[in-house]
Amino acid sequence: MTVNALDSGAQVRLADFEDATAPTWHNIVSGQLNLLDAIERRIDDTAPDGRRYRVGDSPATIVVRPRGWHLDEADLLIDGRPAVAALVDLGLYQFHCRRREHAAGLNAGRWDHLFSLIKNFAGHGRRYVLPDRAQVTMGQPFLRACTDLLVRTCQRRGAHAIGGMAAAVPSRDREANAAALAKVRLDKEREAGDGFDGSWVAHPGLVATCRAVFDGVLGGRPHQLDRRREDVAVTAADLLAVHRTPGYPTHEGVRSNVAVALRYLTAWLGGSGAVAVSGLMEDVATAEIARCQLWQWQHHCSRLTGGAYATGT
């Protein structure tokens, strides 16, 4: 997987020790060893069918995403207490592999944002009740306000604005694959047009589609920091206008959230942090938003009726 990611044609390979990793000691240590081997150009592998995997001459630049501050590393004790997981990930990589000062930017993570919104406004009633996840697209007003503000903030401060995750997993079915790539292309066209400097993909098979979109807009430039987006005027009310999102929680939405949460957590407990579910690559953020929505609907919707819901008092 590391070889495929480095040779995918992407400019950056994000080594994700957070949402896309089940943090077993084996995964953490073997992940660090993979990075060291990749940096020193000695990473290779031979598949059971005899195929050889070896990093090419122009691999992607590696950027490491450590675990969050709230997580401990129970397998490494300092003065008898678990170490801070983020410092373990960063420290190991910096000690063995560092080649540059830093890389900084902001990523528009939809599930993370929605999870935080529900958690922070849990007691504010139905005004903040979201419909099915599938209906909460980045085109909704409160999410567009968030991404517009993110781009303007990044451009003002000289940081890169990174678009959201393209989570589709390429399909062997030609029609299904074409539909998935068309959807990805539309989403990336929106991001590039809004001023984002790049995007994030879950599968190497999406790199060509995303690069074509951004290369077409950037035209050889490394970023869009010169755009400024002075047209953006976002207020706190705009960011919290969840009630302007059309749609309702449905029975299908409940079933989908239960299914994806159970399937992901089962895989996570087995050591897999990135899992393909129903044609999408899912990570911890998916399980968080799925279970958080179920809690929200249970507390603020007295009953689900077909395609709609009725609220309690």
Q: Regarding beta strands 12-16 and 44-46, do their DSSP bridges make them parallel or antiparallel, or are they unpaired?
A: unpaired
- At 175, is the pLDDT very low, low, confident or very high (cuts 50, 70, 90)? very high
Q: What's the distance, CA 50 to chain centroid?
A: 33
In the predicted model, what is the mean pLDDT of residues 162-170? 92
Per the DSSP assignment, residues forming a β-bridge with 310 are 303
Give the model confidence (pLDDT) of 120-156 as tens digits: 998 887 889 999 998 999 999 999 999 999 999 999 9
If pLDDT is split at 50, 70 and 90, which confidence band does 312 have?
very low
d(CA 147, CA 298): 29
Q: Confidence class of residue 228 from pLDDT cuts 50, 70 and 90?
A: confident
Mean pLDDT of 6-16: 92
CB contact set of 15 (below 8 Å; sequence gap of 6+): 31, 35, 62, 63, 64, 65
CA distances from 312 to 117, 240, 259, 305, 309 (A): 21, 22, 26, 13, 10
The question of whether 72 is a catalytic residue gets the answer no
> pLDDT tens, 65-108?
999 888 999 999 999 999 999 999 999 999 998 778 666 678 88
Distance CA 243, CA 130 (A): 8
CA torsion 22-23-29-32 (nearest 10°) is 70
Query: Which is nearest to 33 in space by CA: 42, 24, 46, 21?
Result: 42
Question: Which range, 52-61, 97-106, 204-213, has the best average confidence (pLDDT)?
Answer: 204-213
Give the pLDDT score at 303. 55
The yes-or-no verdict on residue 113 having pLDDT over 70 is yes
**Integer Cα distance of 85 and 138 in angstroms:** 31
What pLDDT was estimated at residue 310?
Answer: 52
Residue with tokens 């609907």: 297
Catalytic pick among 65, 144, 185, 227? 65
Catalytic site includes residue 65 = yes
Among 106, 99, 68, which residue's Cα sits nearest to residue 200?
A: 106
The residue to which tokens 């998916």 are assigned: 286
Q: How much is the pTM?
A: 0.87
Q: What is the mean pLDDT of the chain?
A: 90
Is pLDDT of 307 > 60?
no
- What is the C-alpha R_g of the chain? 21
Among 7, 19, 112, 283, the one annotated catalytic: 283
| Number of C-beta neighbours around residue 15 at 10 A | 22
Percentage of the residues of the chain whose pLDDT score is greater than 70: 95
Question: What is the rounded CA–CA span in Å between residue 214 and residue 193?
Answer: 9
